[in-house]
Chain A
């Protein structure tokens, strides 16, 4: 469960300050999967990073009960000069996971082959994403935060991810951000819409998608 209590967040852009959250209160309850919708530039990725704790809020508190993953689809923590194995070992150490088990899982799942021993800066974007995805799945999180999963790998790998997620979702929750309504329908049972600094949670996906749809119409106008 993740609880937002009076959270404010804004950041500087060239066009002035951009507000992502303005005094937002919300509860992402345990046992539910949330899909977060919002038009481009609403700050969905910032919200995911806030939920993860990668970024501190300007004001207010975010309480996490249970282990929350780092934002998935984010391979930025990998050090280019270190091999895939060394990077994964580091993450496992940080989270206090069993290093041997994590390494074995990632090595098999990511299908990187010999590249697993090569520096990460020799990887393609897809390989990086595979490594990040596998690492995130290897560690037992209670809540997975996923930022735009759609670009990962080929169809074979996506299928594998979906399979792994299906299995993992029996135990863990996900909060995901995507433009793909289909993905949200598949994985989430609750929706949230981020717009104009307000985060609104909806009890079902249909209502959230409808609200999102209206937002797009207004945005286009």
Chain B
């Protein structure tokens, strides 16, 4: 059979297509089309062959050629519309389906397809108009009713309202890069965020109880009063320094609490604020710092309230070196912060770290000279205990509180160096691993 056989080639091609020999069919029909470029039946077949071979673009070209020869065949338009739909040119496909429907008003399929295309491209108003026509033509057809219902439901879901016309906007620059925040502005934002976090923390930590943040103050106060009462009875009221056991115990427990509260509370700052970190301005550093600062404020308040309470019941004692007391507390707090940063980082990778840390803090309670002075210990034990920076914090605080207490083992620069080093390492680790810290595990 010669390829230019105008009458048999299409038949042969159609048979080949039906039997699945696509490439061969395309070859045959291609020959026919080359011989007779204005044979629209052959062009239509070639388009079908290309479509079946998955070459939608070429198929579209050939059906366009066929339509150029004979533009009033509804089936051609239908085929073209399907190709456009497949290619994702939804608006063109809708138009083509419309044209097919116009040419053959008796066939509802074109309109039904047009509805689908309008629906897919979000043109619900047009889809509804078509749906109305379909239902009017065949009111008993359930599938049409379903389709219209689907459009209506989807439209109901949409954030409805009038169309937004972008040209309504006033003149605005295409690019409006805001200057990047300078250091001062960045600092302002950060302190604003931390401030907000601290306030939130005071409201949420004891959210269930009426007393709220009051508990954060009351709890350590009660704890200190209880334990000092126990120790006072055990030691017959005679403290190693000063003449009141309450005051002595107070000078030990305040720095210790500041360290433990700060470092422990920061451990959980990231895990318990996971949802907050979703707010772009809030970073891991902010939630950590907020907790650290809140502990500083809380423990400072506790210290002041207790001192005032002692004075009120006649146990008048006032720190003799106020600057020294403040310095000791600040350095202890810095150590607590550094440990807190480290804890938070370690805890993000090893979930059991917080349990180990809790045990360590318990051990520290006995090793930090809180209810005794290291001088009461044998020298070799004291030398070992002197490695504990918190012990230096307690003794620094105590030696500033009581002028007469001047322990020769107290090394303020050791504590300061450890605090600064811990803080630097903690901050560096937090910075380096920040991206992984807030990754939801």
Contact = CB atoms under 8 A, between A and B. Distances in A.
Q: Do A and B bind each other?
A: yes
Interface of A: 1, 11, 29-33, 49, 52-56, 58, 65-66, 68, 70-71, 74, 76-77, 79, 81-82, 86, 90-91, 93-96, 119, 142, 149-152, 155, 158-159, 161-163, 165-166, 169-171, 180-187, 189, 206-207, 209-214, 217
A119 B203 CA distance: 12
Interface stretch (B135-143, B193-201, B259-267): B193-201
B248 to A, nearest CB: 39
Given A1-B176, A77-B275, A162-B159, A82 B169 contact: no
A165 B161 contact: yes
Interface stretch (B278-286, B309-317, B385-393): B278-286
A181 B207 contact: no
A103 B86 CA distance: 50
A159 B155 CA distance: 12
A91 B174 CA distance: 29
A11 B440 CA distance: 10
Given A81-B207, A149-B159, A209-B90, A186 B177 contact: no
A31 B172 contact: yes
Nearest to B122: A181
Given A181-B121, A217-B86, A82 B203 contact: yes
Contacts of A162: 159-162
Given A49-B278, A162-B160, 20 more contacts: A1-B177, A30-B175, A54-B278, A54-B280, A56-B434, A66-B178, A70-B279, A77-B276, A94-B193, A96-B189, A96-B192, A150-B157, A150-B158, A161-B161, A166-B161, A169-B169, A182-B122, A206-B121, A213-B85, A213-B120
B333 interface: no
Contacts of A181: 119-122
Given A56-B434, A56-B438, A206-B91, A70 B154 contact: no
22 contacts: A30-B173, A32-B166, A33-B164, A33-B166, A49-B278, A58-B435, A65-B177, A76-B275, A79-B207, A94-B282, A150-B157, A159-B160, A165-B159, A180-B122, A180-B159, A181-B122, A183-B122, A186-B161, A186-B163, A189-B166, A206-B91, A209-B121
Given A82-B204, A82-B207, A180-B157, A94 B164 contact: no
B168 interface: yes
Contacts of A183: 122, 158-159
Given A77-B279, A183-B122, A159 B161 contact: yes
Contact of A76 (B122, B208, B278): B278
A56 B87 CA distance: 36
Nearest to A209: B121
Given A81-B207, A181-B120, A30 B89 contact: no
Contact of B88 (A56, A65, A91, A214): A214
A77 B161 CA distance: 28
Nearest to B179: A65
Contacts of B199: 90, 93
A155 B154 CA distance: 13
Contacts of A212: 88
B286 to A, nearest CB: 9
Interface string B215-251: 0000000000000000000000000000000000000
Contacts of A184: 122
Nearest to A188: B164
A213 B278 contact: no
Interface of B: 85-91, 119-124, 154-164, 166, 168-170, 172-178, 189, 192-193, 195-196, 199-200, 203-204, 207-208, 275-282, 434-435, 438-439
A96 B187 CA distance: 13
Contacts of A82: 200, 203-204, 207
A73 B430 CA distance: 30
B159 A161 contact: yes
Contact of B89 (A49, A86, A165, A210): A210
A212 B189 CA distance: 40
Contacts of A214: 86-88
A94 B281 contact: yes
B176 A30 contact: yes
Contact of A170 (B120, B121, B170): B170
Nearest to B93: A210
A202 to B, nearest CB: 11
Given A90-B196, A95-B281, A186 B175 contact: no
A1 B175 contact: yes
Contacts of B168: 170
Given A94-B279, A180-B122, A86 B203 contact: yes
Contacts of A180: 122, 154, 157-159
A49 B161 CA distance: 26
A158 B160 CA distance: 7
Given A1-B177, A166-B164, A210-B87, A182 B172 contact: no
A29 B122 contact: no
Contacts of B85: 213
Contacts of A210: 87-90, 121
Top 4 A-B residue pairs of the complex, sorted by shortest distance between their CB atoms:
A162-B161, A181-B122, A210-B88, A81-B207
B122 A93 contact: no
